[in-house]
Amino acid sequence: MQKADFLEWLREGSISIPAALLTEYKNMHLTEKELVLLLQVLHFAEKGNEFPTPAELSGRMASSAFDCTEMLRTLIQKGFIEIKDGFSPDGIRFEKYSLDPFWEKLIDRFLQSRKQERVHARQVEET
Amino acid sequence: MQKADFLEWLREGSISIPAALLTEYKNMHLTEKELVLLLQVLHFAEKGNEFPTPAELSGRMASSAFDCTEMLRTLIQKGFIEIKDGFSPDGIRFEKYSLDPFWEKLIDRFLQSRKQERVHARQVEET
Amino acid sequence: MQKADFLEWLREGSISIPAALLTEYKNMHLTEKELVLLLQVLHFAEKGNEFPTPAELSGRMASSAFDCTEMLRTLIQKGFIEIKDGFSPDGIRFEKYSLDPFWEKLIDRFLQSRKQERVHARQVEET
Amino acid sequence: MQKADFLEWLREGSISIPAALLTEYKNMHLTEKELVLLLQVLHFAEKGNEFPTPAELSGRMASSAFDCTEMLRTLIQKGFIEIKDGFSPDGIRFEKYSLDPFWEKLIDRFLQSRKQERVHARQVEET
């Protein structure tokens, strides 16, 4: 093992995900495959690619490009991902994925879980 | 939305995963379900539970407790997880999952990918 | 460099801090020394030590134990840290630092910055 | 507090730093001010600004632009930061900070601490 390899590891960096995502995705009716696809889209965006192709996604996933296309379609239909227009500095239009609807759903779901816990805590107190 | 909810979100914190994990798990012959199960085991350990039951894991996953038991068994057989003995301050023995073999496999896989890139870069230069 | 060293690096893990902390600590009237001290307290807590001594903190900081004592005192006075009582499973009382007041201040400060941006955006629109 | 504020918080994201950085910066002869300046440079780079000005850095730090200029100069002299040339897609040259020397120093320092621990452990065994 060489120091250059370690340096490359550090350069690739880490991805930080809210702990609530791991505890709530099930309640958001997402499968593990869909969750990981969303993380891949996030990671591509952090590296500057805001519109990864199904082939690029499938290159990192245990799913075919066809399956990735299907999953993207499903996630758009269920309102987790949106396709938005962006414009480059030279005015060229491009498409990109926005995960804002996904974050909004996560916030909603987290707030709902908190409410349920409070109701539950009150019921326990009253008995 | 209340400030107490936001505070709770911050208290739950974030999980940090090496970027290499997202790009290499496929080459490590892990499925998305197995990847997420490993992340769940990591997250439980960070919160102080080093031996989550299949029921606890299944409570957060789109998989039954039976499926989680099977996946844990497979991951142990394939050498990603180990069961180790720990001892509490009062000398009571307990079992815990160790993900060290998983991290070792990730390092090996990362180094192998780096080697392939170097070979590939040399071939491109020579042509 | 040995693989065991790399494994140890992975075991030590990463610390995840909200980006807002880096952009807002100045507006919270915290110095860099105080910010890093708070991060050290957070990191000790994540590793299971919820009441690090000034000597332990100073062992990792470019500040003497005396300076760390003074900084802790200041942070408590300014309402960033609280000392709270905890109880071990055997009923033994212990003291620990709570950073809840610090997170609350960060939330307040973040919301205030957002409000200022909105006011500013409206003023720009009107002119 | 509005949901839009929470969404903005999520969009700003988190910064992930290796735990070894918090335990080793002191041994790398970095002050807290210098450590935070390096984190700010990292964070600017993640957001697409690879050559923040002293004024931009000072806008987020409890230090004047003059002090930031001095600190940057010192960090370059001590070999933590390098100024490198980059080229935009249209062939325009620009300057950017590289933190590679800083990561290399952190790796060296981490490996040295590990060696010292091993020597120490052997000495304890022999007595």
DSSP state of C2: -
User: How many residue pairs bridge chain A and chain C with CB atoms within 8 Å of each other?
Assistant: 14
Could you tell me which of A105, A104, C120 has the C-alpha nearest to residue D6?
A: A104
Binning pLDDT at 50, 70 and 90, where does residue B2 land? confident
pLDDT tens sequence across A56-98: 999 999 999 999 999 999 999 999 999 999 887 788 899 999 9
Find the helix packing angle between B100-126 and A3-12, rounded to 10°: 100
B-interface mutation test, from A32, A68, A115, most B Cβ less than 10 A away: A32
State how many domains chain A has: 1
Q: Residue D1 pLDDT more than 80?
A: no
Cβ atoms C98, C76 nearer than 8 A: no
> Look-up: residue for tokens 């180790």?
B84
Give the chain A residue nearest C14 (alpha carbons): A14
Inter-chain contact A6–C3, Cβ cutoff 8 Å?
no
Report the CATH number at residue C28.
1.10.10.10
Q: Measure the CA–CA gap between D113 and D91, rounded to whole angstroms.
A: 44
Instruction: State how far residue C28 is from chain B, nearest Cα, in angstroms.
Output: 17
Look at residue B116 and tell me if it is in a domain: yes
Look at residue A9 and tell me if it is in a domain: no
Residues C24-38, mean pLDDT to the nearest whole number: 97
Cβ atoms B50, B44 nearer than 8 A: yes
Q: Which residues of B touch C13 (CB under 8 A)?
A: 16
Tell whether A46 lies on the interface with C, counting CB pairs under 8 A: no
For residue D85, the model assigns a pLDDT of: 92
Q: Measure the CA–CA gap between D88 and D110, rounded to whole angstroms.
A: 35
C-interface mutation test, from D9, D29, D44, D115, most C Cβ less than 10 A away: D9
Q: Measure the CA–CA gap between C37 and D32, rounded to whole angstroms.
A: 9
Q: Which residue has the higher pLDDT, D47 or A55?
A: A55
Cβ atoms C102, C81 nearer than 8 A: yes
Look at residue A12 and tell me if it is in a domain: no
For residue A81, the model assigns a pLDDT of: 97
Tell whether B93 lies on the interface with C, counting CB pairs under 8 A: no
Find the helix packing angle between B65-77 and B32-46, rounded to 10°: 90
Tell whether B13 lies on the interface with C, counting CB pairs under 8 A: yes
pLDDT tens sequence across D47-93: 889 999 999 999 999 999 999 999 999 999 999 999 999 888 788 89
Inter-chain contact A6–C2, Cβ cutoff 8 Å?
no
User: What is the overall mean pLDDT for chain C?
Assistant: 93
Cβ atoms D79, D126 nearer than 8 A: no
Binning pLDDT at 50, 70 and 90, where does residue C3 land? confident
Look at residue A122 and tell me if it is in a domain: yes
Look at residue A67 and tell me if it is in a domain: yes
Tell whether C6 lies on the interface with B, counting CB pairs under 8 A: yes
Instruction: State how far residue A2 is from chain C, nearest Cα, in angstroms.
Output: 7
Tell whether A6 lies on the interface with C, counting CB pairs under 8 A: yes
Q: Measure the CA–CA gap between C26 and C29, rounded to whole angstroms.
A: 5
Q: Which residues of D touch C19 (CB under 8 A)?
A: 12-15, 43
Q: Measure the CA–CA gap between D117 and D111, rounded to whole angstroms.
A: 10
Q: Where are the alpha helices (DSSP H) in A18-99?
A: 19-24, 32-46, 54-58, 65-77
Tokens at residue B52, please?
């989550």
Residues C42-58, mean pLDDT to the nearest whole number: 94
For residue A3, the model assigns a pLDDT of: 84
C-interface mutation test, from D16, D22, D33, D104, most C Cβ less than 10 A away: D22
- Secondary structure (H, E, C), chain B: CCHHHHHHHHHHCEEEEEHHHHHHCCCCCCCHHHHHHHHHHHHHHHCCCCCCCHHHHHCCCCCCHHHHHHHHHHHHHCCCCEEEEEECCCCCEEEEEECHHHHHHHHHHHHHHHHHHHHHHHHHHHC
Binning pLDDT at 50, 70 and 90, where does residue B47 land? confident
Name the pairing type of β-strands C14-18 and D14-18: antiparallel
Bridge partners, residue C85, by sequence = C95
Q: How is chain D split among helix, strand and coil, in percent rounded to 5? A: 60, 15, 25
Q: Measure the CA–CA gap between B57 and B45, rounded to whole angstroms.
A: 12
pLDDT tens sequence across B71-90: 999 999 999 999 999 887 78
User: What is the overall mean pLDDT for chain D?
Assistant: 93
Look at residue D9 and tell me if it is in a domain: no
Look at residue B10 and tell me if it is in a domain: no
Instruction: State how far residue B51 is from chain C, nearest Cα, in angstroms.
Output: 17
Look at residue C7 and tell me if it is in a domain: no
Q: Which residues of C touch B104 (CB under 8 A)?
A: 3, 7
Tell whether C14 lies on the interface with A, counting CB pairs under 8 A: yes
The residue type at C112: Q
User: How many residue pairs bridge chain C and chain D with CB atoms within 8 Å of each other?
Assistant: 92
Q: What residues make up the domain containing A58?
A: 18-126
Give the chain D residue nearest A105 (alpha carbons): D7
Residues B22-46, mean pLDDT to the nearest whole number: 96
Please spell the DSSP secondary structure of C41-68, one letter per residue. Answer: HHHHHHTT-SS--HHHHHTTSSS-HHHH
B-interface mutation test, from C9, C24, C107, most B Cβ less than 10 A away: C107
Q: Which residues of C touch A1 (CB under 8 A)?
A: 1-3, 6
